[in-house]
Amino acid sequence: MSFLNLWALLAFIPLFIIYKQHIKHSELRSLKLLFFTLLFMVLAIARPALQNSIEKQKFSSDEYIIALDASYSMQADDLKPTRYIAAKKAIEKLLRMHQKDRFTLFVFTSNALLISPPTTDTALSMLALNTINPEYILTKSTNLSNLFTTVAKLPMENKKLIIFSDGGDGHNLQKIQLITQNAAIKPYLVATATKKGAALKKDDQFIKDAHSSLVISKINPSFKELANITNGKYYILNSLDVINTLSNDLHEDINSKADIEVKTYKELFYIPLAIALLLFFLAVTKFGALFGILSLLLVSPPNSDAFILDFYHLHKAKNLVHTKNYNKAIQEYKRLSPSVESYYNIATLYYKLGENRDALKYYTQIQTTDPKLKQALLYNMGNCTARIKKYERAKRFYRQALAFGEDKEALENLMLLKSLHPKKMQNVLNMMPKEQTFKEAKNHQKTSKEEKNSNNLSARSGSNQQAQESSHGAGSQKKKKHKAIKRSQTKNKSSNYKLGYKAYEKINKGYSNEKEPW
C-alpha cells in the first residue's frame, strides 16, 4: 500500500505531541474520540491506495496548420452568408472535433499572416480568428505560393496544411509542388465556393470588367489539380458535413501514436474517512457538536486550494491596503496559497509602490485562459514596462492586449507611445493611475466616462477608494499638460487599431493599390 499524498502524514507529529501533553490523561471520552477522528481524517487526506499493474496506452495526437483565404473573392455570397464566414464556421467545427490536437492558424491574401501559434485551446484560436476583419486588409488577391513558402519555414517535421479558399488567381503549380516535396507539406484543400459561382460586388454595385461584363467568381479548376500533383486531398465545402469527411481523413493520417505508461491505483481513502465520520458521530451525539465542528475546520479537504489560515491573512491584507500600508499587505498576500488573485494583488501593490520590475515579475507568473483577465494582465504589463522606459516592449504588450478585443485604454496608451518623443514620455508616465479591484479587472467590459477622457497609463487593480483618490489629484494639471497630446492622438488614430490587430501591417506588406485583384 502507498499514499498518494504522503506529505499529509507529517500532521501526525503535532497531533502526537498534543495527545501526549493534553489528551492522554484526559477523562473526557468525547475529546479522545475527536482526536482519533482527526487522525483518521489525516489518513484519508494522505489517500492510501493500492497500485495496479502499469498499463501501456496508445495516445494519438497530431498538429495541423489551417490557412483561411481572406481575399476579396471570399466575400462572394454563393455560400451563405459569405464564403469567408462559411469557412470560419467550418474551421470552428473542425477545431471542436480535434480538441486533443494542436492547430496553427494563418489568414492569407497575397501575403500570409500568422494569427494563432500552435495551441490546443479552441477558444483562443477562435478568438484570434474572429478578431480579423477582411475590411482592414488592403491586399485583395490570392497567392498560394507565398502561403506555402511561409508554411515551409515552420519547425514541424510533417506539415499538414488545411486550406480554405476558392482557389483565387492562377498559380505556379510546379513551384508549389516543389515546396511541398522539400518541406514535407501535405495539403488538404477545401474549395470554399460553388461551381456556379457568384457575381462580385463593391460598394453594393456589381463589378464589371473592361468589356462591361459582370465579374463572376467560382472555384478555380487549378485548385483541384494542385491537390492531385501534391498528393493532397480535395473537398468542396457545400455543407458542414464535409468537415466530417475531412476529420476522418485526418484521423487516418495521424503520424504520432505514443505509448504512454499509465499507473492506476485503487484508492482506499473512503475506509479511514468512514471511520472518522463514525468516531465524529459518537463524539458529538452525547457531548455536543462544537468540538466536532472545530475538528472539521482544522483539516482541509483533499485538493483544496486554500488553507484555513488564508482567511486570516486575506482579511489582514485588505485592512493593510485600506490603510495604505502596502509593504506589509504584500507580505500578507505572499503568505496565502498561490493563486491568480493573490499574485494579481501582489503585482498591483508593487505597481502602486513604483516597484515596476517586481510588479512585472508577478504579472508574468499569472496563467489564465480567461480572455478578459488575460487582456487586463497584458495591459498592466505594458504599463510596467513603459514606466521602466522599455517603450518598444510596452508597445508589444499593448498590441497583444488589443488582440483579445477592443480596449480603448490600451489603444490610447499605444498611440501615446507612438506619437510622443521619448524625452516627453516621462510626463505621461508620472500621471496618477486609475484603479479597479481584481474582480472588476477580470470582468472588465466598459470604461466609465471619466476613464474615456483619460490618457494616463494605469493599472486595473486595487480598491475603489484608491480609484477615487487618483481621479481627484490629477484634475486640472492633466488638462493643461496634455492638451497638445490629445491633438496628436486625434491625428494619429488609425482605424486599423480599432479592431485590435497591429499585424495587419504584415499582411498588407507590399500593397500597391492592386488593380482588379478579383
Q: What is the location of CATH 3.40.50.410 in the chain?
A: 60-259
Just give the CATH number of 309-481: 1.25.40.10
CA dihedral 335, 340, 343, 349 (to 10 degrees): -110
pLDDT at 245: 92
**pLDDT tens figures, 410-455:** 888 888 887 765 555 554 444 334 344 344 444 443 343 344 333 3
C-alpha to C-alpha distance for 460 and 475, rounded to whole angstroms: 19
Contact 187, 232 (CB under 8 A): yes
Q: Which residue has the higher pLDDT, 388 or 450?
A: 388
Residue appearing with cell numbers 499638460: 481
Rounded alpha-carbon distances, angstroms, from residue 92 to 75, 89, 95, 160, 357:
18, 5, 5, 17, 39
Average pLDDT for 84-113: 90
Cα-flanking dihedrals φ and ψ of residue 314, to 5°? -65, -45
428 or 13, higher pLDDT: 13
- Is residue 517 very low, low, confident or very high in pLDDT (cuts 50, 70, 90)? low
What is the average pLDDT across 493-506?
A: 42
With H, G, I as helix, E, B as strand and everything else as coil, classify residue 185. strand
| Residue 176 reports pLDDT greater than 80 | yes
pLDDT at residue 180 in the model? 92
14 contacts: CB under 8 Å, gap ≥ 6 = none
Which residue matches cell numbers 501526525?
12
Distance CA 214, CA 227 (A): 29
Q: For strand 198-199 and strand 216-217, is the pairing parallel, antiparallel, or unpaired?
A: antiparallel
Share of the chain above pLDDT 90, in %: 15
Q: Which amino acid is at 164?
A: F
pLDDT score of 314: 80
pLDDT higher than threshold 80 for residue 173:
yes
Could you tell me the pLDDT band of residue 232, with boundaries at 50, 70 and 90? very high
Q: Tell me which residue of 384, 335, 382 sits closest to 358, measured CA to CA.
A: 384
| Span 311-328, pLDDT tens digits | 777 888 888 888 888 888
Which range has the top average pLDDT, 234-238, 287-291, 433-437, 460-464? 234-238
0.95 cut: is pTM over it? Answer: no
Average pLDDT over residues 401-406: 82
Architecture of domain 60-259: 3-Layer(aba) Sandwich (3.40)
Q: Where in the chain is the domain with CATH 1.25.40.10?
A: 309-481
Q: How far apart are CA 492 and CA 132, in angstroms?
A: 21
Give me the phi and psi of 481, to 5 degrees please: -70, -35
* Mean predicted confidence (pLDDT) in 275-281: 85
User: Could you give the 3-state DSSP secondary structure of residue 117?
Assistant: strand
